Structure 1
Amino acid sequence: MSRMIVDCAIYRDGHRIEGPEDYSDALAAARAAGDTFLWIGLAEPTTAELDLVSEEFGLHPLAVEDAVNAHQRPKLESYPDSLFMVLKTLGYHSEGHLVTSGEVMLFLGDSYVMTVRHGSDSPLAALRAQLEKQPDLLRYGPSAVLHSVCDTIVDGYLEAADGLQADLDEVEADVFAPGRPVRGTAERIYGFKRQLVAARRATGPLLEPMLRLARGGEPFVEAEAQPYLRDVADHLARANEQVEGMDRLLTDILSANLAQVSVQQNNDMRQISAWAALAAVPTMIAGIYGMNFDFMPELRQPWGYPAALLLMTVVCVGLHRVFKRSGWL
């Protein structure tokens, strides 16, 4: 049990206070005090472990099932005794130009907030320490934790979007660079598009739940937190628009790259055809004069052989100039 519990603390008036180490006793103490709340953080709990906690907190079985099984879609669900929210985290790694994702689930209820994380890209450890330095914000209780978690995760979206934008600019420069298209550009674009798909799965579905929180009326969310949540919703909308804009631009870049490849292939075919025509003329003339018939023009003349070579040269030079002017060579 201790393995999955990252931290468990009681907060009163924005400050962390001493309390029972057992989460069950700590929750009872927070509810008895009336002006305190319990913040418990869990890391990748198993079904059995979370079932023990859910019995004490009165969590809904469907929400518990979602919290155990990762790979959930971002959402906000209201139950009689709790509010359940799922968020996806994004991490951008510039070394491999890779976007990784994780998940954070939040339970808000009577005098408690529970955070459940899955994956390595979790900002909650640093977030708790940062919040404890802001008692004016933390005194709003579980709503302050909800806002801070959402705000930190959405800020991560913006950082990931900035990193992806830099990669997109590099891909765009390679596609439209002078000369032949860079080999493997299409594969690179497809790989980049997969990164954007992961980002869209995090940012897109979260917009509607954030707007619900910003409008107010959700249980266990204080009205004082609504302005902060509206600010988070605005940042999320900006991140969502940035990701969608990159996705549309990447589609255009892919179309441009395929068009460039097609044009280059046409140019190659024209050059091959031009050189084939240049080779066909002397081959045809040599083939005619190599048929060994007795009666052929200039066959017995001493200047016949040089004349045939001169004819080949003149025709090839003429074709070369024609192809050069037309851009085939």
Structure 2
Amino acid sequence: MIVDCAIYRDGHRTEGPEDLSDALAGARAVGGFVWIGLHEPSEREFELVTEEFALHPLSVEDALKAHQRPKLEVYDDSLFVVLKPVVYEPESDAVTTGEVMIFLGDAFVVTVRHGVGSPLAAVRRRLEQEPELLGKGPTSVLYAIADATVDHYVEVSAELQNDLEELEADVFSPESGGSRHSASRVYGFKRQIMEFRRATGPLAVPLTRLAGVGTLGGSVPFVDDKARPFFRDVHDHLTRVNESVEGLDRLVSDVLSAHLAQMSVRQNDDMRKISAWAAMAAVPTMIAGVYGMNFEHMPELRWVWAYPAVLAVMAALEVVLYRTFKRRGWM
């Protein structure tokens, strides 16, 4: 499952080794580094890479099983970094995350990709067109992958912002009338933001270490200290993304709360209208009920105008109630 394997010297690509076991020795012999890219390797397929580059068993286990949070771990012979690229699907309004594991050593880079969201092919092509950057060694690969991942976060954040504006306009539009499906749509959108947040939030700590910012700053093995300004730039972009995601999450919660309050107000309006019509129906029912309680002294049996009078009283009371409820906004 090796997608690509090449040795880089002075920022230029050379032919990959015929035998993977000679990759590291060949890279060191020419004063360069080897970059091996794998896609969802099995345990058996990964054994040769593990032996050749002396990768730590714990990091190998994480790389094979995937489903890791973004993190940075330092071992004796390598640095292990986990990133979670994100893909946004406009057709389904769904956020899908992949995983990229990076093993970084003094003269090697091993990248392991899981899922569909991965910028590695484009990153390799871009780096090969920038020999000055690629000449910085394995650190340049780590920087380029992190930069491409975070830049795509910015694009996804903008897409989510646009979709939230459309969702907000639809939920509160008069035509929607507070549809019962609106709450489920808002909640579904909140789930997508949460998925996005799981990729961007934990990455702040590893980038803080790489950038040498704050109390976590310090030298990171296998990473050139001169690369810190570049990682600070990536860290700044990630900070803006996390602030944007935080704002989106709060806004979605506010939209959901406002929608539920709007539904509650509409239900109260409906109950007032039902109560008003019930009150109007109760008046003639009450009069008819009183009439039916006494058959011996019913006035209409001896008074010709009894029925018209009672009907007139009913109509007058109905008009009075209707105007009263209408004036109070109940109808």
TM-score range relative to shorter protein: over 0.9
Does residue 1:301 correspond to 2:303, yes or no?
yes
Corresponding residue for residue 202 of structure 2: 205
Deviation at 1:291, TM superposition (A): 4.0
Unaligned runs of 5+ in 2: 213-217
Residues 1-329 of structure 1: pairs in structure 2 closer than 5 A: 4-33=1-30, 35-178=31-174, 180-215=177-212, 216-291=218-293, 293-329=295-331
Equivalent residues of 1:31, 1:110 under 8 A apart: no
Q: CA RMSD in A?
A: 1.3
Deviation at 1:86, TM superposition (A): 0.4
Three-state SS of the structure 1 residue aligned to 2:85 is strand
Q: Deviations over 1:68-119 (max 9, x none)?
A: 0111011000001000000111111111111111000000012000110100
What is the identity, as a one-letter code, of the residue corresponding to 1:311?
A: V
- How many residues align structurally? 325
Corresponding residue for residue 215 of structure 2: none
What is the identity, as a one-letter code, of the residue corresponding to 1:69?
A: K
Equivalent residues of 1:27, 1:112 under 8 A apart: yes
What is the identity, as a one-letter code, of the residue corresponding to 1:123?
A: P
Distance 1:173 1:185 in 2: 11
TM-score for both structures, normalised by structure 1: 0.96
Three-state SS of the structure 2 residue aligned to 1:99 is strand
Equivalent residues of 1:174, 1:182 under 8 A apart: no
Equivalent residues of 1:92, 1:159 under 8 A apart: no
Three-state SS of the structure 2 residue aligned to 1:295 is coil
Distance 1:305 1:21 in 2: 110
Identity over the aligned pairs, expressed in percent? 63
Deviation at 1:292, TM superposition (A): 5.5
Equivalent residues of 1:8, 1:21 under 8 A apart: no
Q: Deviations over 1:207-256 (max 9, x none)?
A: 01001001151111112211111100000111111001100111111111
What is the identity, as a one-letter code, of the residue corresponding to 2:136?
A: Y
What is the identity, as a one-letter code, of the residue corresponding to 1:226?
A: R
Distance 1:265 1:184 in 2: 16
Equivalent residues of 2:5, 2:16 under 8 A apart: no
Unaligned runs of 5+ in 1: none
Three-state SS of the structure 2 residue aligned to 1:190 is helix
Deviation at 1:302, TM superposition (A): 1.2
Equivalent residues of 2:6, 2:13 under 8 A apart: yes
Distance 1:40 1:87 in 2: 17
Deviation at 1:172, TM superposition (A): 1.6
Q: Deviations over 1:287-319 (max 9, x none)?
A: 322345120344421111111111111111100
Equivalent residues of 2:207, 2:235 under 8 A apart: yes
Distance 2:19 2:120 in 1: 21
Distance 1:84 1:76 in 2: 6
TM superposition outliers: structure 1 runs of 4+ over 3 Å: none
Deviation at 1:19, TM superposition (A): 4.0
Three-state SS of the structure 2 residue aligned to 1:84 is strand
Distance 1:182 1:15 in 2: 59
